[in-house]
Amino acid sequence: MAALKYAGLEDTDSEEELPPGWEERTTKDGWVYYANHLEEKTQWEHPKSGKRKRIAGDLPYGWEQETDENGQVYFVDHINKRTTYLDPRLAFTVEDNPMKSTTRQRYDGNSTAMEILQGRDLSEKVVIITGANSGIGFETAKSLALHGAYVILACRNMSRANEAVQRILEEWHKAKVEAMTLDLASLHSVQHFAEAFKSKNVPLHVLICNAAVFAAPWSLTEDDLEATFQVNHLGHFYLVQLLEDILRRSSPARVVMVSSESHRFSEIKDSSGKLDFNLLSPSKKEFWAMVAYNRSKLCNILFSNELNRHLSPHGVTSNAVHPGNMIYSSIHRNWWVYTLLFTLARPFTKSMVSECLAAFYTSSVFKSWEW
């Protein structure tokens, strides 16, 4: 008892009663944490019982959750016209036991991005996502923005990008999300985007190179390069080079290259084992859409590996990820045969908001990275 008293944990009527100097708080996602004002620290476990808890149920009628300028969650009672930092649902918490025996991994094919981000406050993080107006890019942008990150949707089609921004704002009107023009088929556009971002004078903690074309017919960009190669790889390569200085200054930071398992079915070397540049940007006669896509994804992985070797000593890591097989998104829109194939496979493949994003987050943005 003397030891408990010395530690500020003297006996009370209930093990749930907080010791002096402690306060119970909640995150935006409804997880309970404890603030020790005497030592100026926080922790997830109850200081006496060691239990972890989360909020159960919705806010009472007339209540709304807000965030102050310091990122602290508070609650507004519109009926009684008062505000408080105490979550009115704290009386209805449920115990969360992370040590509970289970055969299920922490994250698996049924996990969602929101579950993986549960309890994380990203209010100080700045994220750029290319091709974020639809598909995996949009789900990624939405999930990060709903957890407080300032997310920039870097897109070619600004009309669709602005629509995506509005969809996110409809879910949370205080989300910090913005659309900026980026056409990876134009190196001039990539340069202009980088300059526009730098003019904002903000850090960059995560750069997600997600945009890609799949099964697109042969065409040349304004830079006289085959379009699939430039959009999927070279445009991102150039973008990373232009933003490298900001990433270094923002460390710890991370670059995520969205690649594909299909990289295994490609080759970029000639018969003598040397890199064949003609394979990267082939002529129309030598072009095959699927092979071009596979080669671009192989380039993503090789670039990511080298980038990690080059920048990790400076606090910037790089990961290449495979988001999942046959994800039903708009990437197959260029040829009706692929659209039919993806449609037929849809009932047997992964959900856009479940396994693909679970793999995406656990293997890229957050795995082994303490913020």
Give catalytic residue positions. Answer: 293
- 288, 293, 297, 303 alpha-carbon torsion, rounded to 10°: 70
8 A C-beta contact, residue 259 and residue 320: yes
3-state class of 62 per DSSP? coil
For residue 199, CA distances in Å to 165, 239, 331 come to: 21, 15, 32
The residues facing 181 across adjacent strands are 155
DSSP letters of 253-310?
Answer: EEEEEE--GGGGG---B-TTSSB-HHHHS--STT--HHHHHHHHHHHHHHHHHHHHHH
Residues comprising the chain, all counted = 371
Of residues 113, 74, 122, 115, the one with CA closest to residue 96: 115
Half-sphere exposure of 7 (CA within 13 A, CB side): 10
Residues 6+ apart with CB under 8 A from 201: none
Burial class (CB in 10 A: 0-12, 13-18, 19+), 302: middle
The pair of structure tokens assigned to 125 is 């993080």
Task: Name the DSSP class of 220.
Answer: B
Residues 6+ apart with CB under 8 A from 53: 31, 32, 46, 93, 94, 95, 96
3-state class of 180 per DSSP? strand
